[in-house]
Amino acid sequence: MAAMTDDGLSIDPGKPSIARVYDYLLGGKDNYAVDREIGDVFKRDLPGSVAIAFANRSALTRAVAQIATTTGVRQFIDLGSGLPTADNVHQVAQRYAADSRVVYVDTDPQVLVHGRALLEQDERTRVIAADVRDPEGVRNHPDTLELIDFDRPVAVVFSAILHHVNDEEDPAGIVRYWREQVPCGSYFFVSHFRSGHNPETAEAEKVLQQTFGRGRWRTDEEIASLLDGLEILDPGIVPASLWHPDGERDLTVWERLIAAGLARKA
């Protein structure tokens, strides 16, 4: 039976959720049998694919830390944030800059419930129900307007979300909207499924498309084109594990299927 949130959104334990499948792959507990069934397809039939989720999360943590320690940006908008886990954006940012403010955005009702429970004592964070494909709805949400000063630089986070926006939904247009809304000195972090032109890519894409009707692998060039008009910083669009890594090591084929990059509005 579906449960209702304060926003009037229903949590349906019989319908899989991208956020909850991701949570399961990361070892979280906020998922249902239907989510674990999808997650087990990756674990069983695509062994090694769980590394994609961990490589992505690690790159996000490093990017937020870099922004917090090397720039004066103290505002973050995390689009398609997913379920709370260890080292959330606000935890990483506030570790280095206590005055950092974060707006988390997601459509999954369970994300809203758990996120608000986690953050209810933190007046510098908000969790809002909005769709990344409706950037104006995010931008003009009362909680966003309360917390984010758009006259000052903002870090806009697209962590593992734009690959869930199909081509006809204009992912580049979504990034362009935010580029136009934030001032110079703002930063954009993107992580994205990276096409490997191999059987692993094709099979993983097939599973997501069959389950959710979305999940688009793109080349490095296609990912870079989403950041048109922004300055892509070194080392460019690269496998997430190679984006300012903590150490050197050989990557598995799976770890090469998620890319990351950081860009700046000059």
Bridging pattern class, strands 231-232 and 258-264: antiparallel
Q: The CATH number of the domain where 131 resides is what?
A: 3.40.50.150
Domain of 160? 51-198+214-264
Mean pLDDT of the chain: 88
Name every residue whose Cβ is closer than 8 Å to that of residue 201 and which is 6 or more positions away in sequence: 193, 195, 217, 257
Residue 63 belongs to some domain of the structure: yes
Average pLDDT of span 65-93? 91
Name the more confident of 249 and 67.
67
Q: How many structural domains comprise the chain? A: 1
Kindly state the percentage of the chain with pLDDT values over 90.
55
CA 215 to chain centre: 13
pLDDT tens for 170-222 read: 999 999 999 999 999 999 999 999 987 888 778 777 877 777 767 888 999 99
Please list the residues that pair with 264 across neighbouring strands.
187, 231
Burial of 46 (0-12, 13-18, 19+ CB in 10 A): middle
Residue 177 belongs to some domain of the structure: yes
Name every residue whose Cβ is closer than 8 Å to that of residue 151 and which is 6 or more positions away in sequence: 183
Give the span between the Cα atoms of 229 and 237, in whole angstroms: 15
Nearest CA among 164, 87, 155, 180 for reference residue 132:
164
pLDDT at residue 5 is higher than 50: no
Residue 148 belongs to some domain of the structure: yes
pTM across the whole model: 0.85
pLDDT at residue 1 is higher than 60: no
From 50-54, 81-85, 232-236, 242-246, the region with the lowest mean pLDDT: 81-85
Q: What is the pLDDT of residue 258?
A: 92
Residue 140 belongs to some domain of the structure: yes
Residue 139 belongs to some domain of the structure: yes
From 10-24, 48-62, 127-141, 178-192, the region with the lowest mean pLDDT: 10-24
